[in-house]
Amino acid sequence: MTTNDNTNPGPVQTRTPVAVLGLGLMGRALAAALLGAGHPTTVWNRSPGKADALAAQGAVRARTAADAVRSAPVVIVCVSTYDVAHQVLDPLAADVDGRTLLNLTSGTPEEARRAASWAAAHGADYLDGAIMGVPQMIGLPGTLLLHGGPRKTFDAQEPLLRVLGGANTYLGDDPGLPLLYDMALLTLLYATGQGLTHAQAMVGTAGVSATEFQPHAASVFHTVLAGLFDAESARVVDEADYATEVSNISTNQLAVGHIIRTSRELGLPTDWLAPVQAGLDRAVREGHAADNPARLIEYVRPDSP
């Protein structure tokens, strides 16, 4: 895995013409960054009005997706789903031959691998990518984009990718890896977000506003929660070294029970906590009450008994 944080895209005369298919919130940000860095940029979107501002900034507006693809050696695809990407690209199989496709659409790792196979079958170089940020972060030096596909394709496109985010990271030749990482990282986001929402609803029953609660939530996030993300916590999982002097499964089983009983008292939903409770209960039943809760990964892996 390699990361590059240099945002200088290179001399103007070497800048590659690029086509951008999909001008939603993210596609427009990508195209604007490319234009800003001096890349000749052709844009296409199903709803053509979304190209207006980019055309005013110097983008060439393509009438059809085929016109866009034929205009440039590098084609960036950023539409809502892989099904949409196939709807747009499948009729253009003959046109992608010899070009490089950079697919920044979100989906599943298998969808990315199938798209890579489709591209290879039609003579295109292909990199799949995941953008770990929002459109307003496109072009910033610290913005992380994850990439997977042939190393030589990544190396060839790396100066262009640097325009989109300074912290490009090559994960390996498997085109499914960026979306695997993306979905893993988004799991953290949504699970934490659900917890925050529930916590705000809990204190809200006592008339405590989210603003009043925020410093306490932030304090726990930066201290107790941060500990889950440190190198020692990762080592514990990798080495299945579940002995603990910090907080064991038994203590956490009781804590989750308290949360569930409190939530019931307050009339809040508890269904989303049931799998957490079930994992802790199972670990206690199986004799692991004194272990680190990191042991619960044993029940989540696909080959779990």
Report the alpha-carbon angle 182-2-188, nearest 5: 25
Residue 80 Cβ vs ligand NAP, minimum distance, rounded to whole Å: 4
Report the alpha-carbon angle 276-107-171, nearest 5: 90
* Count of beta carbons in the 10 Å neighbourhood of residue 241: 14
Residue 206 Cβ vs ligand NAP, minimum distance, rounded to whole Å: 34
Which C-beta is closer to ligand NAP: that of 25 or that of 94? 25
Which C-beta is closer to ligand NAP: that of 38 or that of 135? 135
Binding site for ligand NAP (CB under 6 A): 22-27, 45-47, 50, 78-80, 84, 87-88, 105-106, 131, 134-135
Q: Which residue has the tokens 């790396």?
A: 158
Instruction: Enter the tokens of residue 102.
Output: 């950079």
First to last CA, the chain: 32
Which C-beta is closer to ligand NAP: that of 130 or that of 283? 130
Which C-beta is closer to ligand NAP: that of 8 or that of 187? 187
Residue closest to 54 by CA, chosen among 92, 19, 14, 82:
19
Residue 137 Cβ vs ligand NAP, minimum distance, rounded to whole Å: 9
Report the alpha-carbon angle 280-286-292, nearest 5: 50
Residue 128 Cβ vs ligand NAP, minimum distance, rounded to whole Å: 12
CA-CA distance, 231 to 212, in Å (whole number)?
A: 32
Residue 136 Cβ vs ligand NAP, minimum distance, rounded to whole Å: 9
Which C-beta is closer to ligand NAP: that of 105 or that of 169? 105
Residue 32 Cβ vs ligand NAP, minimum distance, rounded to whole Å: 12
Which C-beta is closer to ligand NAP: that of 46 or that of 70? 46
CA distances from residue 215 to 71, 192, 211, 218, 220 in whole angstroms, order as listed: 52, 16, 8, 5, 9
Residue 249 Cβ vs ligand NAP, minimum distance, rounded to whole Å: 36
Could you tell me where the DSSP H helices lie in 134-291? 151-164, 177-204, 210-220, 226-228, 231-238, 249-266, 274-285
Strand 100-103 and strand 74-77: the pairing is parallel
Helix, strand, or coil here: 152? Answer: helix
Residue nearest to ligand NAP (CB): 24
Which C-beta is closer to ligand NAP: that of 22 or that of 109? 22
